[in-house]
């Protein structure tokens, strides 16, 4: 970051160790259809992605980050000097940060079916000249990572120092290493699981019903008109509750009223927690496509790493990458016992695995918040993996 921009960031209260101004890039695959698990083919398709840091001459310092449900390719930095909000994981990526861009080349791509530059339901169907809507094929976590693997090949990257993901991003990291074990040296799986729980599927189903029950949804053909904003807002409220913990909600809101001193005995928004959820829902509809929410939650619900195999142990049978598995004590969406299931299956295959449970009252969203213990663990883990990998690759080049 140059001095002028660094001064501007400092003046605005921004992190001077940010990666600075970044630009979203786009890659379109025109000539190789993507065979999807649903039995259909997708062509052409585009992935939006961003990169941070410098690719080493040996191309051995690459970290691929997978985003969660509502994330996108903009994981760090700012798009313009006047932006007030950085990328969604800016606290983890940048010079001197856990994913140190002075050492590593970091890539993050918007998932297939997303709405932030990658091909999805809101994209134009080349056969009709209109948005796909529900004619867009259902995609899976496996489809998402196969598309990103092709992006890596396009960029000339054969092997990754690490794949990193939390929540749905962790599912993608797990799927990637199982599908392409030879391409991965290490995996950081944070607040994630080998499959979505029944309770998680239930919450996703209610969220989808909220969107599809909105009169403006019109079977997904709302483009050019009023979107199902009310339904998406409710879906976001439902999801957001699962990202928090009871302790956090009690501490932050309790039973406090928002703008009244006593109950109004009407149906107005009265409690602070109600007002907070309204804000979360209303702000979300400004940046996310309702159909993408349907498609991505469906992909999460379909995900089951052991499906088609005898067990989760068998799923990891070809994996040689080193693992760091992290959970949070107050995360009830992806609780610690699901992380331990991953650890047991990995250890049954002799995979070098480190497990860390972090005490936190912030629930599932802990991974998005400043957490020195998580940052230190990620930094140390990547440093150890890099030392081993670089000793091997750079000795061969000498």
CA distance 336 to 197: 13
Residues 362-394 pLDDT 10s: 999 999 999 999 999 999 999 999 999 999 776
Rounded Cα distance, 193 and 382, in Å: 21
Q: Which of 331, 339, 360, 365 is catalytic?
A: 331
Give pLDDT, residue 396: 60
SS3 for the chain, per residue? CCHHHHHHHHHCCCCCCCCCECCCEEEEECCCCEECCCCCEECCEEEEEEEECCCCCCCCCEEEEECCCCCCCCCCCECCCCCCCCCCCCCCEECCCCEECCCCEEEEECCCCCCCCCCCCCCEECCCCEECHHHCCCCCHHHHHHHHHHHHHHCCCCCECEEEEECHHHHHHHHHHHHCHHHECEEEEECCCCECCHHHHHHHHHHHHHHHCCCCCHHHCCCCCCCCHHHHHHHHHHHHHHHCCHHHHHHHCCCCECCCCCCCCCCCCCEHHHHHHHHHHHHHCCCCCHHHHHHHHHHHHHCECCCCCCCHHHHCCCCCCEEEEEEECCCCCCCHHHHHHHHHHHHHCCCCEEEEEECCCCHHHHHHCCCHHHHHHHHHHHHHHHHHHHHHHHHHHC
CA angle 90, 92, 98 (to 5 degrees): 150
Two tokens, residue 221 = 């053909």
Mean pLDDT score, 65-86: 94
Query: 239 vs 108, 282, 370, CA distance in Å?
Result: 23, 13, 21
- Token pair recorded at residue 153: 């090949």
pLDDT digits (tens, 9 = 90+) for 233-260: 999 999 999 999 999 999 999 999 998 8
- Tell me how far CA of residue 88 lies from CA of 108, 196, 246, 391, 398, in angstroms: 11, 23, 24, 32, 39
Q: What is the mean pLDDT of residues 179-190?
A: 98
Marked catalytic residue, from 70, 90, 123, 364: 364
Give the C-alpha separation, 62 to 321, whole Å.
14
Give me 345's structure tokens. 């299956």
Q: Which strands form 62-66's sheet, in the order they lie side by side? A: 25-29, 45-52, 105-109, 62-66, 162-166, 186-190, 322-328, 353-358
Q: What was the pLDDT predicted at 2?
A: 44
Which of these is catalytic: 167, 233, 292, 330? 167
pLDDT tens-place string over residues 34-51? 999 999 999 999 999 999
Residue 339: Cβ-neighbour burial (10 angstroms; 0-12, 13-18, 19+): buried
Does residue 278 have an active-site annotation?
Answer: no
pLDDT score of 16: 72
**pLDDT for res 4:** 46
Annotated active-site residue 289? The verdict is no
pLDDT in tens, 318-356: 999 999 999 999 999 999 999 999 999 999 999 999 999
Domains (range + CATH), the chain = 3-197+304-397 (3.40.50.1820), 198-302 (1.10.1740.110)
CA 218, CA 133: separation in Å to the nearest integer?
10
- The per-residue pLDDT for range 188-229, each reduced to its tens digit, is 999 999 999 999 999 999 999 999 999 999 999 999 999 999
d(CA 228, CA 230): 6
Bridging pattern class, strands 93-94 and 99-100 = parallel
- pLDDT tens per residue, range 79-138: 998 888 999 999 999 999 999 999 999 999 999 999 999 999 999 999 999 999 999 999
Q: What was the pLDDT predicted at 13?
A: 52
Task: Note the pTM of the prediction, 2 decimals.
Answer: 0.94
167 is an active site residue: yes
Rounded percentage of the chain residues whose pLDDT exceeds 70 = 95
């Amino acid at each position: 970051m140059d001095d002028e921009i660094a001064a501007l960031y400092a003046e605005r209260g921004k992190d001077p160790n940010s990666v600075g101004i970044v630009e979203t890039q786009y890659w379109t695959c025109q000539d190789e259809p993507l065979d999807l698990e649903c039995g259909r083919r997708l062509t052409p398709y585009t992935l939006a992605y961003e990169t941070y840091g410098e690719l080493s001459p040996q191309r051995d310092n690459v970290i691929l980050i997978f985003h969660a449900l509502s994330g996108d390719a903009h994981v760090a930095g700012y798009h313009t000097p006047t932006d007030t909000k950085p990328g969604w994981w800016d606290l983890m990526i940048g010079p001197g940060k856990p994913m140190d861009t002075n050492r590593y080349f970091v890539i993050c791509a918007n998932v297939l079916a997303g709405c932030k530059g990658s091909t999805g339901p809101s994209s134009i169907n080349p056969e009709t000249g209109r948005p796909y809507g529900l004619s867009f094929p259902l995609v899976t976590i496996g489809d998402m990572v196969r598309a990103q693997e092709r992006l890596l090949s396009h960029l000339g990257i054969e092997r990754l120092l690490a794949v990193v993901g939390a929540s749905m991003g962790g599912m993608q990291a797990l799927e990637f290493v199982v599908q392409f074990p030879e391409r991965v040296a290490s995996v950081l799986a944070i607040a994630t699981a080998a499959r979505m729980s029944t309770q998680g599927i239930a919450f996703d189903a209610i969220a989808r019903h909220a969107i599809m029950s909105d009169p403006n949804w019109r079977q997904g053909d709302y483009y050019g008109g009023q979107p199902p904003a009310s339904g998406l807002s409710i879906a976001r409220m439902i999801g957001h509750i699962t990202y928090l913990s009871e302790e956090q909600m009690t501490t932050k809101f309790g039973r406090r009223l928002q703008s009244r001193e006593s109950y109004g005995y009407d149906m107005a928004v009265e409690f602070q927690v109600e007002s907070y959820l309204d804000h979360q829902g209303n702000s979300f509809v400004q940046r996310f496509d309702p159909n993408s929410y349907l498609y991505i939650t469906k992909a999460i619900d379909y995900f089951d790493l052991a499906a088609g195999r005898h067990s989760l142990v068998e799923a990891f049978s070809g994996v040689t990458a080193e693992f760091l598995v992290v959970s949070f004590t107050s995360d009830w969406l992806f609780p610690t016992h699901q992380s331990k299931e991953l650890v047991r299956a990995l250890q049954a295959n002799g995979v070098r695995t480190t497990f860390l449970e972090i005490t936190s009252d912030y629930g599932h969203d802990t991974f998005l918040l400043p957490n020195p213990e998580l940052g230190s663990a990620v930094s140390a883990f990547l440093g150890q993996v890099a030392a081993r990998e670089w000793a091997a690759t750079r000795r061969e080049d000498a």
